[in-house]
Structure 1
Amino acid sequence: MDTTDPSRDDCPEEFNLTRRKLMVSGALFVGGVLLSPEISAQTLGTAAPEVSTSFMEVSSLLIDHRLDPEVGARMAAAMLRIYPTIERDISAIVQIAKQKNAKVVEEFFADIPEGNLKDTALAIISAWYTGVVENSSTAEVFAFETALMYQPTHDVMTIPTYAISGPNGWNAEAPPLGNMPTF
């Protein structure tokens, strides 16, 4: 009688990976990642709530438009990675605006000192208008259709896209061409 098991594995027990071990280790890994206090908000793609809130506060002071809070949270997280002093700079800019009782950018922007604070304010304004937080070929796009540089002329200017009928219009029918001249 043959006592060998057809599914027998000759590897040592410490290297033997069973389905149960795989499931338990996977569950422990996922649980550890979700519960770990070392996981930062930037890893999850959002800024810490206090940074996101202060970013939206300073953004609303610097930009007189309706701003999308979801886009703002993602921008804040990206800017936090790129500009390590942004939290301190945002607090200083908000403090300057509060000292002037400013409601719009024109009431306090001239009082922001040249240097890091002015650069941070300009970077925030630029991010909202262009939809990116850095000027590079690998920059992550945060706002395409909602980028503020398109808002003043959105009724007459087409946002650059490969979609024939406009942004996110991949399935829409192309509008018929008007009277085309014949030659």
Structure 2
Amino acid sequence: MNRRTFLRMMLASGIIISVPATGASALFADEPAETFHVVSQMLTGRQQLDAAISQRLYALLAAQNPHFSSRLTRLAQRLGRSGDLTPEARLAALSDEDVETALAVITPWYLGYTGNPATTRATDDAHFVSFLSALMYEPTADVTPRPSYSQRGSDYWQAVPEGVTAPPMPANIHVWGKASPRAASHIPEPQPAWLAMVEGRARTWQDAQRLTRGEGGDA
């Protein structure tokens, strides 16, 4: 999935670019960090973003990419000129580089960190920014505590939710862990025809089969 498609999906869900632009003057400030804050408000659709977090995010993104400040300025100019357009048209007016910059702004607000954490190396370029203010937890905040520690007692997740009738469970299921008898020993490779449809290279199963036969794959 490319960046523009992903941004369009977020737009369709109402997550981003839901605040109307108020003109180019609102998107520019004396300091680039202030411009970043206003652009962040527009792209996330939230007016109450924490200013201290915004300052830290801008500093980290600018340090991570020396071209970020100039690209942010171009993105702000595009958004400022598209204030009278619908969100869909505003997205269509962005260049591929603008889309990349927009996602660079949005992503850490939702994840709470910049860069890419690595589990196989001692060091990486990830930098923590915020846990409690990460926007990804907002949609389920009324039913799911942020997973730093349990707010509902030890092993609260093992209890069957109120009003739910659970089917019978196998004996000792709570201590299975990785020893589950149903655990997969390996992840099989996807069928080429199925993969062609997922990647958008074919619209129907028949087209996918014809395509993969032509590529030498098994359909």
Is the TM-score greater than 0.5?
A: yes
Give the 3-state SS of the residue equivalent to 2:128 in structure 1: coil
TM-score, length of structure 1 as denominator length: 0.58
Q: Using the alignment, how far apart are the partners of 2:40 and 2:88 within structure 1?
A: 13
1:57 to 2:38 alignment: yes
Contact 1:55 1:76 (8 Å CA) reproduced: yes
The partner residue of 2:50 within 49, 63, 68 is: 68
2:141 paired with 1:154: yes
- Aligned-CA RMSD value: 2.8
Partner of 1:93: 75
Using the TM superposition, name which of 70-79 and 50-59 deviates more: 50-59
Q: Distance in 1 between matches of 2:61 and 2:84?
A: 24
Cα displacement (A) at 1:150: 0.5
CA distance in structure 2 between the partners assigned to 1:83 and 1:102 by the alignment: 31
| 1:83 matched residue in structure 2 | 65
Deviations 1:110-139 (A, max 9, x none): 21111x322111111111111111122342
Matched, 1:122 2:108: no
Query: Whole-Å Cα distance in 2 between the matches of residues 103 and 89 of structure 1?
Result: 21
- Matched-pair contact (CA < 8 Å) for 1:55–1:72: yes
Contact 1:71 1:143 in 2 (8 A): yes
Q: Percent identity?
A: 27
Q: 1:82 to 1:72 in 2, by over 3 A?
A: same
Could you say which structure has the larger radius of gyration? Answer: 1
Indicate if the aligned counterparts of 2:145 and 2:151 stay in contact, CA closer than 8 A: no
Q: Which secondary structure does the structure 2 equivalent of 1:164 belong to?
A: coil
**Structure 1 position 106, deviation (Å):** 4.6
Alignment partner, residue 151 of structure 2:
165
Unaligned runs of 5+ in 1: 1-48, 167-173
Q: Distance in 2 between matches of 1:131 and 1:83?
A: 18
Q: 1:64 to 1:79 in 2, by over 3 A?
A: same
The code of the aligned residue for 2:134 comes to A
SS at match of 1:55: helix
Which residue of structure 2 lines up, in the alignment, with residue 110 of structure 1? 92
The unaligned stretches of length 5 or more in structure 2 are 1-29, 119-123, 161-219
Q: Counterpart amino acid of 1:100?
A: S
Cα 1:84–1:105 change in 2 (3 A) is: farther
In the TM superposition, structure 1's runs of 4+ consecutive aligned residues that sit over 2 Å from their partners are 102-107, 163-166
